[in-house]
Every structure is written in structure tokens, then in C-alpha cells.
Amino acid sequence: MAEDRRIRYTKMVLKDSLIKLMKEKPISRISIKSICEEADINRATYYTHYKDQHDQLDQIEFEFVEGIEKFLEDMPMTIPLDIITKIFDYIQENKELCCTLLGKNGDMAFEENVSRLIRSTILASWKIADVEVNSVYDYSYTYTFAGSIGIVKKWLSDDNTNFSTRDIAKLVLDLSEKGISKKRG
């Protein structure tokens, strides 16, 4: 059953309020009272949707990861540049949320959840079905993902960037496949 418009609006306002507050302080220092005041929503309404602020954050993160999955659902897993570009398109569309969740007050579990999702997509594009833990492919993916997160954070924080999502995807792919020597000139 689809949520009605009022419920979607309430959740959107609560989400925006939590994200705004997380820009200033970590989730552990954000009270439900402050979220409700920011959203101009009463506490009873809040509790009809969430158990607490951690549950709310978990649901926001889950929706983001689910959104990536849906975004990639119809994508043929044959062209790595297209796959990575599609992921960056989704990140761009959710810039403020990503900046907050990957920022200093973000949740490390979020990065791990995104990593697990993207891992299977990337390994499929590398035409690797099952990767053993501590294998060369496992280390290669870990290196690529950690570097990609660094690039995402830099890219999102640069307000006047001239790089498109495809440019950033190409950079990540080039660095992961060829290393930095190609970029030295």
C-alpha cells in the first residue's frame, strides 16, 4: 500500500530536519525534541513513524541504498564506465544527503552498507562471480572503493566543479585500472 501524500510530506520534513541537524552535530547529540522543533511536527507524530533518531537515520540510509539498487536495476552489467556513471548520477541527485551521511557527523555503517551493495555490482562488471575474502580482488575492490569515497567527498564538497558525473566515473575507473601514472602527464 502506497503512503499517502501527508505521510510522505511528514517524513520528508523530518528527514530534512535530521539532515540539517546532522550537519551541525552527530546523531548521538541530536534529540527527538530538536528534530520535531526543526520540522515543526509534534512528538506524537514523530513516534508514529520512528522509534528514535537512530531508527530514523537507519531508515533514511536504507532508502538511499535501496534507491541505488533500483537505479541500477535495469542497467546492463557489461560496461563499467556506464555503471559507475549511473552510481555517480544517483549520488549527484542526492547530493545534500550524501554530503551529510559521508561527512564528519555521518554514520560509518552507511559507508559499509553502500560498499556491500556496490561491491557486488562492481565485481559483476569485472566478471567475477565469487570473491574470496583476502584475495587480490577483495583487496583491489577495497582500495578502489576507499579511493572512490574520497573522490566522492571531494567532488561533492567542490561547489564549482567542472566535472560531470561521467568525468568523475572515468577518473575513478582510470585510477582503479591504470593507477595514477597515467594522470601525471
pTM listed for this prediction? 0.81
Rounded to 5°, angle at Cα 112 from 58 and 172: 125
Q: Tens digits of per-residue pLDDT, 97-144?
A: 999 998 889 888 888 888 877 777 666 666 665 666 667 777 877 888
Residue 185 in this model has a pLDDT that exceeds 50: no
pLDDT at residue number 182: 42
What's the pLDDT score for residue 157? 87
- 5-50 classified as CATH 1.10.10.60: yes
pLDDT at 170: 92
More confident position, 80 or 130: 80
Q: What's the whole-number mean pLDDT along residues 58-70?
A: 89
Specify the pLDDT at position 68: 82
Q: How confident is the model at residue 184 (pLDDT cuts 50, 70, 90)?
A: very low
**In the chain, what are the domain boundaries?**
5-50, 56-183
- Residue-wise pLDDT for 4-39, tens only, equals 899 999 999 999 999 999 999 999 999 999 999 999
Q: What pLDDT is attached to residue 142?
A: 82
Would you tell me which CATH number, out of the four given (1.10.357, 1.10.3470, 1.25.10, 1.20.140), belongs to the domain 56-183? Answer: 1.10.357
**The pLDDT value given to residue 137:** 74
**What is the SS3 string spanning the chain?**
CCCCHHHHHHHHHHHHHHHHHHCCCCHHHCCHHHHHHHHCCCHHHHHHHCCCHHHHHHHHHHHHHHHHHHHHHCCCCCCHHHHHHHHHHHHHHCHHHHHHHCCCCCCHHHHHHHHHHHHHHHHHHCCCCCCCCCCHHHHHHHHHHHHHHHHHHHHHHCCCCCCCHHHHHHHHHHHHHHCHHHHCC
